[in-house]
Structure 1
Amino acid sequence: MSISTISNKILEKECSIISFHPVKNDDNQNIDDSPKVRTVNYQNTYRLLSKNPFNETKTLEAVQEELEKYIKCDTRYDPQRAAGICASLSQAVRDRIQDMNFDRYKIVCVVDIGEKKGQGIISIARFLRDFSKDKYLFRNFENHFLFITVMVGAFYFE
């Protein structure tokens, strides 16, 4: 069998590329004889905006309610409990915001708790964002013994 004959058979789909024998399925029929299965292709919607966009006022209310559940005005700073409170408060705020079903947003919640001893603190968060779609907000709580900062980021996800 010459190379031109093999290439002609491959082009005419009379044999497979690997074995050079006619391609057959389990019933010893050529695959070309089997009926063609049509696949359904869906087109993109090209919808760029969220149907339920991130609402900052509802989110701030939810953050404030969760802060009031966890922290009272006379709460003292406890270093052993601070990490657990940070984790549980962050999870509670994030779950509460995700229950609002903001469409196409990833929610990130960061909680900082620190003891007040007359010092000053500057907390900075930097991230790249699209100013038209990505949102962030923060809420501070302070008493004589501690400070809490809750930062929520809602990042648009296409």
Structure 2
Amino acid sequence: MSSYFSKKRRSQMQTKMNTYRMESLNKFQPDRVEKIIKEVVNAHLNETTPYEPGWAKEISKEMTTEIRDKVRQLEFERYKLVCLVDIVQKSNLDMVSCASFLWNADHDRYAGFTFHNNQLVCAAYVYGVYYE
């Protein structure tokens, strides 16, 4: 029985031909990604935007989705994208945001932008992690 199902599954799987290329033709470009991040953040936030916890949760999800979709349109080949948007209240405290990855300095890149006004701080980052 198991051999029948495994044969059926193998026949349904897509196979791609090996390109024998070791690097991406369209490498992750932090400058272009940073422009997208700035556009999206500035479209959603301004100098008079107040901080509200429920609103911050929803708007950070919206911005994450919008940034991710726009960066995907750039079609960076062989890159996995990780998009993070944090919105926190400004209350005379420090903010530490960190992400850890296995990082290949030759291929992996990131772009980020930080926005702040009198009531909130927004930090948005996109990591392009090379995937062979």
Relative to the length of structure 1, the TM-score reads: 0.70
Runs of 4+ in 1 over 4 A off after TM superposition: none
Q: Which residue of 1 aligns with 2:50?
A: 76
Q: CA deviation at 1:104?
A: 1.1
Distance change (3 Å), C-alpha of 1:140 and 1:43 = closer
Q: Which has the higher helix share?
A: 2
The answer to which structure, 1 or 2, has the higher relative contact order (CA under 8 A, 6+ apart) is 2
Q: Report whether the alignment pairs 1:48 with 2:22.
A: yes
- How many residue pairs align between the two structures? 117
Question: Deviation digits for residues 44-86 of structure 1, max 9, x if unmatched?
Answer: 3310111111111111101000011111111010111111011
Relative to the length of structure 2, the TM-score reads: 0.83
Percent identical across equivalent pairs?
A: 32
For residue 82 of structure 2, give the secondary structure of its aligned residue in structure 1: strand
What is the alpha-carbon root mean square deviation over aligned residues? 1.4
Q: Which residue of 1 aligns with 2:85?
A: 111
Give me the whole-angstrom Cα distance separating, in 1, the residues matched to 2:17 and 2:63: 42
Q: CA deviation at 1:151?
A: 1.4
Q: Which runs of 5+ in 2 are unaligned?
A: 1-15
